[in-house]
Each structure stands twice: as structure tokens, then as C-alpha cells.
Chain A
Amino acid sequence: MAKLTIDGREIEAQDGQSVLQAALECGIHIPHLCYHPALKVVGSCRMCLIEIEKVPKLQVACGTPVRDGMVVSTQSERVRKARRGVLEFLSINHPLDCPVCDQAGECKLQDYCFEYGQAESRYQEDKRRFPEQDLGSTLVRDMNRCIHCTRCIRFLRDVAGAEAFTLYERGNRTQVGTYLETPVETPFSMNLVDACPVGALTSKHFRFKGRSWLMEKTRTLCAGCSRGCNVYAWSQKGRVLRLTPAENEWVNRFWLCDYGRLTVNDVNADDRLGDALRLGDCVDPEAALDQAAAKLKAYVDAGAGDKIGVVASARLTNEDNYLIRKLAREVLGTRHLAFVEGKEDDRPFEPSDRPLTEWFIREDKMPITWGARDIILSGEPAGDVLGLIAKARRGELKALLVFGEDLTRVTGEDRVVEVEFLFATGTHKTRTVELAHIAVPEATYLEKGGTFTNEEGRVQRLRPVVAPPGRARSAWQTARELAGRMGAGWSYRATAEVTAEIAAKVPGYQEVDFIEMPEEGQMVEHA
């Protein structure tokens, strides 16, 4: 432990911490550009210069270890002058094209210039111009905006394990980019957009789509794999425009893979299902549910409830699966319940300092394979989907309810299965939805609330970011509607009520608290 004084405030810091880390932890903001908590310290931007008593020169806060009794000033006239100088140096060759820059509004250079910079430029010489360089399908490089902080290089080299970026030329002509314009081919390329504190690296997918201050930012989860990365979903006018990583030390640290980020394209796809379908024709979802419930009720009343197969999915939320299970077991009274799950991944899950390629992206492309096992199986033997379909093919099942899945992708065939009654919910106009006798629209992960249990057993909160298209709803709501129409008398109005019931009923989930859930999530024991 070291005790030091920063701007007259006494703070405690751990030995080995830098002054910058210690200050940030105590809420004292020392401006910095090249420092990133997950990257090696280089101390090259010189923004975080501070004055230390009895040290003749100004020092960089990021590279100065704390010492007991240190007296630091971050606001002295000397520091402010140096800081103003650094900002001026960074601005003289900068194009100052904030009006057309994607980074505007979340640009550190812009913010610091606003706070510490000077209003008028003293630079009257020609500005430096760099050539363009194409970096592949995900990134746009504008070297003129670059401040040479090398965060991108350090991210690729030290975190992603891809030595793709480098510095070439030197001095004022130094460029950051790839050798011979090779495209950046790493599944983590878009993290460079976040790592870049200015607009030198921007995303091809998000380019010119929105202004950061007009978008709404919601903390939620990525559904791209079983890691359960924390993300911010940025939305405007009912559309999610981009996903960026939200920090979670135990799950994704500061990162998010390109695949996960681009799942947002599926949500915004043109073939989203907004209305109910009956044999391919649009109908009112309420009428569709009436008909489906009547049909199902007829089976149950005829004592053929057990001839109904129900397919849930590890793509849905815990709440969805819980009510699907409850519908199957308690309302329909069928034993034939299965769910589509993802692949096993035997690599260790925990975040590590190994390259991201070795641990980050999971083989299991379903967000809650483990949660589905906990909730649907609840200790009962596994029902597998292919077995269920085989049963249907043998004529042992009369009806099939498919929630949120395209069964043709499971079977690999174009046709699903011939049954008397096929009911499906779907986010998109999939083959299963087209083939269903009745299909109702389903909300995607960015359009509904609930919880995901990731591969490690961490329950985290999914938050609705935008409204689903048309009259799409969550699978749990569809299940509730069916059950209600069949006379079950369920009273769930909010996701939280379902979560509370999961906590009460599912073994290992007793601590799960939807409302009070901490940002890093809650661990549960897999049954």
C-alpha cells in the first residue's frame, strides 16, 4: 500500500500501480490517449504528464509507479501548459473534420481539446496528408486523423495475437497500417475501432450510419456464442446500429468479436417476420394464436396431449425455455420435449492473457446451451431433437411446436416433418416458418428482456433495446398466450415474474435476482 497526494487529495494505491491507475480508481481523471487498461504501457502520447514534487521534469502518469508520500499535481500551470502543448501538437496536422467523422462525440481528442485546448490555431503551415489504405472488409483507415498512440498495434500484437499492424516510415511521416496493404484478417478486427481513441479507424459497417449523441446506448448481451459477451447496443429510431463491447472482467474483458458485432445485421434483415402466417399467408397473430390453441386443446381433450412434440432452443432466453417447458409439461401434458443445443467446447472458458483466438470465441454458437440444460431438463433425461423428429416421422407424434428454431437447419433437409399440425415461432421467414400450418413472429435477442446462462454458469441480464417488428413477441409470451387460451390461468405479465419463478423452482438458480442482478452477472451451479 502506498499513500500519495494527488491535487491535495490523499489517496491509497497498491504497490506497483501507476499514478494514472491509482488516480482513475479514485475518480481523478488525468487526460490520457495511448493508455488502455488492457494494453502494454508505452507512454508516448504525453497527454498524462503530471508534476511530482521534487522531480525536476514532468512525468507521464501512466508510466510512473506510485511511491509512498508522493505529491502529485495534475492541474498546475506547468502541467496545463504541457497538456495544451500536446493537444496543439496533435491538432496541427489533424484534419479537424469532426462533422463527418464517425468518432465525433466519443472522441478523446475532441473531448480533451474542448476541455484543455485553445480555441485558435497557431499553425500556419501546410498540413500533412497521408495516402489511403484499404484494410479489408471491416475497417476504414483515415491516417490523417491518427494520433500515433499505437493502441491498435498493441491490441493486435498483445491481445489478439495477430501481428497485422505495424508502424512504417518515421517521424512525422509515421504511418500505422498493414504491410503492403494486406487486409486485416482476424476475427477481432473491429475491436480496433474501439481501441482507436480517435476516428483513424472506423467501422465499414457503421460508417455514416449515426451520430453517437443521437443514439441510445443499452447494456445487454451478445447472443453469438456461449460466452455471453456484455455489449452496448446503440440504437436510433428503433434500429440497432451497432454493438460495442461492455467491460466484464470475467466474461469478455474489453472485447467483442466481429461475428458477434455483426449479428446485429440479422436483427436488421429484410426477411424478419412481423406478422403471423397461416400456411404462408399473413394473418392477425391473435387469431393465429386462437386457432393454434384451439387445435392443441382438441388434442389434449382427446387425451392425445402426449402426441404433441415441443422443440425449445438454446437460442432463446431462460424465461422463454422455462415457460415452453411449463407449457409442454403442465398444459399439454407431453413428455416429448427437446431443445436445439450447440456444440461442446472443451477449451477452458476463463478469460486469459493468451491470444484471443485461443479462448474468446466459443465453438458453441448458442448463447444458453447450459441454461437450457438447467431449465428444460431439470434433472430429467435429455430429449434430443433428432430423436423427436424421428418419432414424428414414425407417426408417433401428431403435432409439433417449434420455438425460435429452423428445423431444416437441424436436419439438413429441406422439409421438416409431416405432422398433422406444425406450429412454429420464428424471428425470420425461415423454411420452418413457411412450412408451418401456423407461425407467429418472434423477437430477437435485441428486442426482449430476460436472462442468459452462459457456458460458465453465469446468469446475465438481457435487456430489450428496440421494439420487435410488427407484432413479434418473446417465446415466453407466446407460450403464455397459448396456455392462457387453453385455460391454464397463468398470470405472468413481466419477464421478472418468470425469472422469479425460475429462481424458486430450478435447482441452483435460487440466488438469481432479475432486478438486483449485478453488472457482472450471477453464478449458478449447473445441475
Chain B
Amino acid sequence: MAEKVLTARFEKLGSHRLESYERDHGYKALKQALSMKPEEVVELVKASGLRGRGGAGFPAGVKWGFVPKESEQPKYLCVNADEGEPGTFKDRYIMVLDPHAVIEGSIIACYAFGAHAAYIYVRGEFKKPQRRMESALLEARRAGYLGKNILGSGFDVDIWVHPGAGSYICGEETALIESNEGKRGMPRLKPPFPAIVGLFGGPTVVNNVETLAYVPHVINRGPEWFIGLGSEKNGGTKLFGVSGHVKKPGLYELPMGTPLREIIYAVCGGIRGDKKLKAVIPGGSSTPVLKPDQIDVNMDFDSLAGIGSMFGSGGIIVMDETTCMVRAAARLAKFYAHESCGQCTPCREGTPWIAKILSRIEGGHGREGDLELILDICDNIQGNTVCPAGDACAMPVRAFILQFRTEFEEHIEKKKCPIGRFPAPW
């Protein structure tokens, strides 16, 4: 079994307490970082190639490097703990079981690019993670890791929890910033990018929980160790949340680049009831679906991009032969239509349109030409919206149709589900 990094402490009793964290060399990385120059910390993280774990895979060190050194406005760190992508359930475990790792990583990040305040934007429904983060922050503040002149370094920083109000779109970084400001969570038009004008008008970095939880380990053990866990451009381990029709669904920490087949059949014990695998969504619901003949792919950012899908957030959704692909696509489209913020035209109008057509096909009322129409609507949405939420609907819907076209066509021709599924009640 490969080395556990983020989950190494998960099974210890009281792993969320400061005492336990310190016993496992917690806040050692912070002390080391504070002894370095901020630029050196940025360089070190850059050298590790640590890529953002939220979905886009942008190198964290490079992101920090975008923040201007001198700024009249205060700089901020926003920790993206919104984790709304269907199929993804990793950040909540980190926050509940190892909250101090997130706090330590956040403090180091703040030190690296010069922020004195950070907000952990926790998804509204995550009550337990919110409470855990709150109490961990209290412990850290009492112990002098937060506040004025932390650990006698002369550096001031504090962190607060900002509970979300229950919207998928607030996981998009600029919508998160708007929501964090107390406004309606709607993505902003870019440019300007958050690194220049972000939270309350100040330069802002938005990092995922998992990314920040990795930072102390990178500081402690160095870039070479990190790269050694995975590959050069895809270093480290990754939390995979495997759900769906596998025997052992759950959260697994595996090296970057682990083949998908190994995850499904070795790690998760294969398909439930030893049925045939039909489809896999590799990284959260917005990533294009894969067919069984594609599962030899290595699970890292570049390999998945290479076969036309995306690594995303590590939320693997496995579907067996009993799953109706039309229904799966319709359900996904309905989700994105429901979660569209309503700001820009293609996403607001296009996603419900797709959802309606898919639902109609599923209900046995499909018409000839519906598939071409959906694909064209996807074309008109993708790339033309304010934020990536439009793409997040268009990409998987297109993939479902292109990968499983015959099943969609049979639905339309036979006016019912070829595998005998009744239409969904919604």
C-alpha cells in the first residue's frame, strides 16, 4: 500500500484536536516556513508542482506568485471548502478529521503571499465541518498560531469560517468571493482576476482545502519527496471519493496516476454484484464520462485530458450495466439547470432547455433530431459563459450522448428505456 499523507492521521482518536496534531509534528512546517523568506516559501511550493485539488489543477505556487507584492488593498486568502461537485466528498473529511492541517496550510499560504486574513468558505450544508473548523481555529488562536505576532515571528494573521448559504455556484472562485462579501453568489466577469482584485477589492488567492492541507507536508518533506509520490507534473497523493456501483465505495488516498481500473477493481473491490461496468465519471459530475474500454487511464490531470475527459476533483462515480444513461444525463442536466446562478444567458436558458429535452427523451417522448439539437445547444453554451458552470453542464451532457449514442437513439425510437428503467419521477 502506498504512503498515506493527508489521511495518515484520520483514524487516530481525537485527530482533530490540536494536542494530537502537535504530537504528530503539527505546526512544525509553519515554524519552518516562518524562518524562511516568503518568496522562498512560494518557490518551494512552485518547485513541488503542487496542483490545485479543486478541479482545474492550476499549480498553487504559481497562483501565489500572481499576487502583487505591494498592494494598497489588504490581501486575502479564501479557502474553498464549498465542495459542491456531485460525487466529491474529500474536503469534508479533511475538515472533520484533520482541521489543523488546513489551518496550518492556510497560515503558510498567507505568509507566502502576504495576507493577514483568511476565510474558510465552508459549504452551507456542512454543519459538522463548520463546527470542527471553528473549534480548531479557537485552539490555534489560543496556542498563538493565529493572531498578532504569531510564534514571535512578527507576522499577523487570522482565519475565520464563513458558512455558505447553499449554492453549488459558490464553489466557483469569484462567486465564492462575492458570497464571502455577503452578496448574492454570482461569478464575476474576468478580468480583473482575483489575484489582482478579489475579496473586498484586495488581491485574493482562492485555494482548495485539500491543496492547503498538503502544503505543510510539502514544506516538511520537500518537493522531491512530493514529486516522488506521483509523477513530475502530477506529484503527491490524491483523495479519491469513489461512489456508485462498486463493492467498497468510499474515500481513498492513492498516488496520483493510479490507473482507474486498479481503483475500481483492486481498491474498491469491483462492481457490485459482479455486474458489468457501463460508465465511469472520473472526477466529479462535470467531467466527461468514460466507457469501460477507457479505464486503463492513469488518474492524473494530463492523462485524463489526453483522452478528452478531465481529472476534476477526484470524485469517481461508477455506473454498472443496470444504469440508464439517458436518466443519468437527464439528472445531471437537471442539477446544473437548478444550480445555474441565472446571470448569463447561455447557462441560464440553455441548461434548463437541455434538461427538459433529456427528461422528455427519458419519458419516452423523444423526437428525431433531439440529439443534434442538444449537441448544438452544448456548443452554444460551452466557452460562451461568464464562468465554467456552463461548460460543467455542456461537457458531461455531450460526452454522455457521444459515448452512448445508441442508447439515446433507442430511447427515442422505442419511446421507452431499452434496459427497462421506468422514467424518473422528477
| Residues in chain A within 8 A of chain B (CB atoms) | 41-47, 49, 57-58, 60, 63, 65, 81-82, 84-86, 88-90, 92-93, 122-126, 147-148, 167, 169-174
Establish whether residues A148 and B348, one from each chain, have CB atoms under 8 Å apart when the complex forms. yes
* Contact flag A86-B346 (CB < 8 Å), given A125-B357, A170-B167, A171-B337: yes
Distance of B202 from chain A, by nearest CB (Å): 19
SS of B interface (majority): helix
B413 within 8 A of A: no
Cα-based distance from A496 to B263 in the complex (angstroms): 89
Chain A residue at minimum C-beta to C-beta distance from B184? A167
Establish whether residues B353 and A125, one from each chain, have CB atoms under 8 Å apart when the complex forms. yes
Residues from chain A with a CB closer than 8 A to the CB of B341 are: 170-171, 174
Residues from chain B with a CB closer than 8 A to the CB of A147 are: 345
Residues from chain B with a CB closer than 8 A to the CB of A126 are: 356
Residues from chain B with a CB closer than 8 A to the CB of A170 are: 167, 339-342
Distance of A67 from chain B, by nearest CB (Å): 11
Establish whether residues B342 and A148, one from each chain, have CB atoms under 8 Å apart when the complex forms. yes
SS of A interface (majority): loop
B323-352 interface bits toward A, Cβ cutoff 8 Å, 1 = contact, 0 = none: 000000000000001111111111011111
Establish whether residues B339 and A85, one from each chain, have CB atoms under 8 Å apart when the complex forms. no
Establish whether residues A88 and B348, one from each chain, have CB atoms under 8 Å apart when the complex forms. no
Say which residue of A60, A122, A173 sits within 8 Å of B189 (CB atoms).
A60
Say which residue of A85, A86, A172 sits within 8 Å of B342 (CB atoms).
A172
Say which residue of A44, A63, A169 sits within 8 Å of B345 (CB atoms).
A44
Residues from chain B with a CB closer than 8 A to the CB of A49 are: 384
Distance of A62 from chain B, by nearest CB (Å): 9
A-B contact count (CB 8 A): 99
Cα-based distance from A82 to B390 in the complex (angstroms): 14
Residues from chain A with a CB closer than 8 A to the CB of B381 are: 85
Residues from chain B with a CB closer than 8 A to the CB of A90 are: 345, 349
Residues from chain B with a CB closer than 8 A to the CB of A125 are: 353, 356-357, 360
B419 within 8 A of A: no
Say which residue of A42, A57, A85, A171 sits within 8 Å of B348 (CB atoms).
A171
Say which residue of B337, B345, B353, B377 sits within 8 Å of A46 (CB atoms).
B345
B305 within 8 A of A: no
Cα-based distance from A67 to B141 in the complex (angstroms): 47
Establish whether residues B189 and A174, one from each chain, have CB atoms under 8 Å apart when the complex forms. no
* Contact flag A171-B340 (CB < 8 Å), given A123-B353, A148-B348: yes
Establish whether residues B189 and A43, one from each chain, have CB atoms under 8 Å apart when the complex forms. yes
Chain A residue at minimum C-beta to C-beta distance from B372? A122
Q: What are the 6 closest A-B residue pairs judged by CB atoms, nearest first?
A: A85-B380, A174-B342, A89-B349, A171-B340, A43-B189, A125-B356
Establish whether residues B379 and A169, one from each chain, have CB atoms under 8 Å apart when the complex forms. no
Residues from chain A with a CB closer than 8 A to the CB of B377 are: 85
Say which residue of A44, A81, A85 sits within 8 Å of B344 (CB atoms).
A44
Cα-based distance from A362 to B377 in the complex (angstroms): 52
B373 within 8 A of A: yes
Say which residue of A44, A57, A89, A92 sits within 8 Å of B343 (CB atoms).
A44
Establish whether residues A85 and B189, one from each chain, have CB atoms under 8 Å apart when the complex forms. no
Establish whether residues A172 and B189, one from each chain, have CB atoms under 8 Å apart when the complex forms. no
Cα-based distance from A28 to B373 in the complex (angstroms): 32
Establish whether residues B340 and A85, one from each chain, have CB atoms under 8 Å apart when the complex forms. no
Establish whether residues B191 and A65, one from each chain, have CB atoms under 8 Å apart when the complex forms. yes
Residues from chain B with a CB closer than 8 A to the CB of A57 are: 383
